[in-house]
Amino acid sequence: MRLRSMLFVPADSERKMTKGLTSGADALIVDLEDSVAPTNKVLARQMAAAFIAGPGRQSAAAIFVRINPLDSGLALDDLAAVVQPGLAGIVLPKTLSADCVRRTGYYLDALEARQGMAPGSVTIVPVATETAQAMLNMQSFNAPVARLAGITWGAEDLSAAIGAVSNRDEDGQYAPLYAWAGAMCLVAAASTGVVAIDTLYADFRDTEGLLRACRNARRRGYSGRIAIHPDQVHTINEAFSPSAEELAHAQRVVDAFAANPGAGTLGIDGMMVDMPHLKQARRTLGLPPD
């Protein structure tokens, strides 16, 4: 499952959910949490279930649902409503540690069985840095976790949790705490063997800024990004896809090592490359690392 772009759509808007299907996003996140007012939670849950059973089930995009937090009193009802054929995954907000992912997995075990779905059909992408406790527990993502498909992070809820006026310094860059949160997302994803998905870019009208941010994120190790508007999807997909030049270089690296199976280091395109370069080249080509 490719997760370059994951587009949020509010579950209480049939129009936005339907429009999201034509956005080109790799995945839609049908949102039951922050974009839905408390008075609309039950309706949104019903609309999300109907969307998954209808147009969502036939869509090319993977359908995820962001449920309400596990401690909200709403999460189990959310899961009971939306777990059905056609659901690819759950986005788990306010994740406090890897144990929250495991706990959600136990609920999914029972709900998949009730629906006659294959065990493990529904994956989980946690938002892993939204609280102070979560930041202190990022080391819990230190080995593979069942159902984990990726890890993303959030800066807005974290700044609210610690009482910050802003999560950025005067120069517009993330303050150290939030830069650290993003770095820990990368490390946690690598430790668990899944993709790291960068947080949202709030100014959906700033296409050039989004492109720069996505290119920087890809250089750092992210495989995709959250989108909050359909207009962001094309830019995100483009930025997180290897160029023709990158693909050609990666193929040369793979071919050279295949032709020299005993070599540990080779000269390619005027540069010395070794096993880490081979691993990266295979990743660029969508091949297993070994």
Q: Specify whether 136 is located in the same domain as 196.
A: yes
pLDDT digits (tens, 9 = 90+) for 3-45: 999 999 999 999 999 999 999 999 999 999 999 999 999 999 9
**Do 215 and 266 fall into the same domain?**
no
Same domain flag for 120 and 194: yes
What's the CA gap between 32 and 70, in Å, rounded?
Answer: 13
| Strands 123-126 vs 62-66: parallel, antiparallel or unpaired | unpaired
Indicate if 30 and 144 belong to the same structural domain: yes
Domain shared by 78 and 137, yes or no: yes
289 confidence band (pLDDT: 50, 70, 90)? low
Is there a domain that residue 289 lies in?
Answer: no
Number of domains, the chain: 2
Q: Is residue 290 part of a domain?
A: no
What is the rounded average pLDDT of the residues 162-173?
Answer: 91
- Domain of 276 in residue numbering reads as 244-284
Q: What is the CATH number of the domain that holds 211?
A: 3.20.20.60
| pLDDT tens digits, one per residue of 42-72 | 999 999 999 999 998 889 999 999 999 999 9
Report the candidate in 148, 153, 129 with the shortest Cα–Cα distance to residue 90: 148
